[in-house]
Amino acid sequence: MPLILTDAQAQLLREEKKYLTDLYATLSELKTQPAELDALQDAIVRLEELFLIVVVGEFNAGKSALVNALLGAKVLQEGAIPTTTRVTLVKHGEAVRETVSPDELAVITYPLELLREINIVDTPGTNAVIRKHEELTRDFIPRSDLILFVTSADRPFTESERQFMEYIREWGKKIVIVVNKRDLLEDEKSFDDVARFVKGNATQLLGVTPELFFVSAKREVSDGNLTGGMNALNDYIRSWLDQHARLRVKFSTPLGVADQILKRAETISQHEREQLAQDIETADHVEREVGSYEKDIRAEMEPRIAEVDNLLYKLEARGTDFFDQNVRLTKIMDLARGDKFRAMFEQQVLAGVPQEIDNRTRAVVDWLVEKDLREWQNLLTYLQRRRIPSDALVGELTTSFDMRRQALLTATTEAAQTVVSTYDAEKESREIGNHVEMAVAQTAIAEVGAVGLGTLIATSVTVAALDVTGILLAGVVAVLGLFIIPYKRQQAKDRFKEKIHDLRTRLGNVLRAQFNSEADRTITRMKEGVAPYIRFVKGEKERIVRTEEKLGEARKGLQTMQDKVERMFV
C-alpha cells in the first residue's frame, strides 16, 4: 500500500492485522479447511499490498482486450481462442517482462504509471477446457478488491458464468458487470433485452443490483483515448482509486474474507449442533435404557431367588413333620434299619424336590437369558431407527463430524445386530446353569461331582436324616420310648432345621452372587458396546460448546473491526 497512512490509520492497520492473525490461530485450532485458512492468510499478507482488480468471465468474452483498453496499451495477448491459459498478474515494472512461478502464476511487468497504484489480474475462462485454469481463477477470487465480471453480448450470462458468480458471491466481493462486444447488438431493442436479462439475473443471484457497463473493448479505443462505455467504465474504476475509497476497500477486503470464512464455520458448527442434538437424545436414551435394565434386573432377581428359598422352607416343614411322625417307639423297627428309614425320608420328604429345585433355578436362568436378549433387541431396534441411511446424506452438508458420528452409530448398531443375530439362548442358559451349579458345589453345600443342583442339595439334606438311625433294640422298650426316642427325634429335628437354615442362607448367597455376576457381565457387555458412541457424543458436545464460544468471540471482534473501519473512512 504505497500511500502514507495517518497515525490513526496505521494503528487501525495494526489492530486489524492482529485480529486476523488471532482469527487464523483460532480457526486453525478449530480444524478449519486448509483452503479457508490459506485464503485468510493470503488476505493478511495482501492487506498492505496494492489495490487488486481481478477480471473474470468466459473465454473469448474479451477479458484480455478489456484489460488492454483500460491500461491503454497492448499488454496482454488477444485472440479468438483461449489466450490466457493461466492466472496472469499485471504489475508495474521498468521493463516489459513475463515470468511464471512454480504455481503457474504468470507475472507481467509493464512501465505504466497506473500500475503503480493497482495490480490487474487476468484469468482463464470460467468455462476453460483445462479445468486447472478454472481452479486457478477460483483460488484468486478471495484476494481481489474489485471484480470485473466480463460477459459477451452475443451469449450473456451463461450457466457457467452464473455458477461462477455464485462462488464469488460467497466471498462478498464487489462485482462490476461488463457486457463486452456491444457492437454486436444491432438495435436498441436488442440492447434493452440483454440489459434486462443480465441485470435481472445478476440482481436475483447477488441480492443487490450491480453496476452494469456495456462496452466494445476493441472499438472504443482511439489513439489511446477511451470512448463510449469504456470511458464510463474507466471513470468508475478511477473513482475507486481515490485514496480515501481505496483505503476503505483495502481495510474492508480482508475483513470481508474473514466474515465469509466465519459464516461457513458458524454454519458448520450450527449443522453439527443440530445433528448432535439427535445424538445426545440417542445417547441419553441408550444410557437410560441400560440403567433401567440394570435396575429392573436387580429388582426382579430377588423374588425369583426367593422362589428357590421357599422350596427349602417347605422342605424344612415336611422334614420336621416326618420326624414327628416316624421317630416314635412304634416305628422302632424302621429306625433300627437305616436303609429303610432313609428310603422313607427320601420318599416322603425329598420326593420331587431335586427336580423342582432344578426347574426353579433353570427358570431364573432362562428369565435372565430372555431379558438379556430382549434388551439387546430393543437397543438394536432403537439404534436402527436413529441411524441415517447413507444415501440420505447425498447432497447435504457433510463434514468430518458427520462421517465420525455416522461411523460410530453404524458400528454400535452393527455390534448390537451381531449380538442379536448370533445370540444362542440355549447355549447361554446352559453355560449360566453350569456356572451356578459349580458355584454351589464350590461353597461346600455338597460334594463336587453330584449331578444337578437339586441333587446336590438333596444329598446334603439327606445326611441330616441319618443321624436318627442305628438305634439298638437292646434294653427296655419303655426306657427307649420314654428317653431315647424323644431325644433322638428332637435331635434330628434340630439338626435338620439347622442344616436347612444353613442351606437356605448359603444357597441364597451363592445364587444371588452368581446371578448378579451374570447380570453384571451382560450389563458390562452392553455398556462396552455403546461406550465409544456415547463417549463421542459427550466429547463432541463439549467441543461444539467451546467452538461456539470461540466463534462468538471472533464474530464480536470482527464486528468491532468493521465498525472501526466504517468510522475511519465514513
**Amino acid 465: pLDDT:** 53
Residue 556 pLDDT > 80, yes or no?
yes
**Amino acid 526: pLDDT:** 80
**Amino acid 1: pLDDT:** 45
With beta carbons less than 8 A apart as the criterion, state whether 47 and 17 touch.
yes
CA nearest to 360, candidates 309, 425, 427: 309
Residue 212 pLDDT > 90, yes or no?
yes
Per mean pLDDT, which of 23-32, 224-233, 418-427, 482-491 is the most reliable?
23-32
Residue 451 pLDDT > 90, yes or no?
no
**Amino acid 467: pLDDT:** 53
Confidence of residue 27 (pLDDT cuts 50, 70, 90): very high
User: Where exactly are the structural domains of the chain?
Assistant: 50-241, 268-562
**Amino acid 448: pLDDT:** 39
Instruction: Output the average pLDDT for the chain.
Output: 79
Confidence of residue 155 (pLDDT cuts 50, 70, 90): confident
Who has greater pLDDT, 144 or 136? 144
pLDDT tens string 265-282: 999 899 888 888 888 888
Who has greater pLDDT, 482 or 228? 228
Other CB atoms within 10 Å distance of the CB of residue 361: 27
At 207, give phi and psi (nearest 5°): 85, -5
**Amino acid 473: pLDDT:** 42
The fold for domain 50-241 equals Rossmann fold (3.40.50)
Cell matching residue 433: 446353569
Per mean pLDDT, which of 178-192, 240-254, 351-365 is the most reliable?
178-192
With beta carbons less than 8 A apart as the criterion, state whether 498 and 486 touch.
no
Who has greater pLDDT, 16 or 127? 16
Percent of the chain with pLDDT over 90: 14
pLDDT tens string 454-476: 666 666 666 555 554 444 343 33
The beta-carbon contacts of 271-274 under 8 Å, at least 24 apart in sequence, are 271/397, 271/399, 272/399, 272/401, 272/402, 272/540, 272/544, 273/544, 273/548
Who has greater pLDDT, 116 or 476? 116
Measured over the CA atoms of residue 386, residue 389, residue 392 and residue 395, the dihedral's sign is: positive
Contacts of 299 (CB under 8 A, 6+ apart): none
CA dihedral 538, 542, 548, 551 (to 10 degrees): -130
Q: What is the pTM of this model?
A: 0.59
Residue 127 pLDDT > 70, yes or no?
no
pLDDT tens string 469-507: 444 343 334 445 556 667 777 777 787 787 778 777 877
Residue 122 pLDDT > 80, yes or no?
yes
Q: Report the DSSP beta bridge partners of residue 148.
A: 55, 176
Cell matching residue 549: 464460544
- Determine whether 165 is exposed, middle or buried from the number of CB atoms within 10 Å of its CB (0-12, 13-18, 19+): buried
**Amino acid 388: pLDDT:** 55
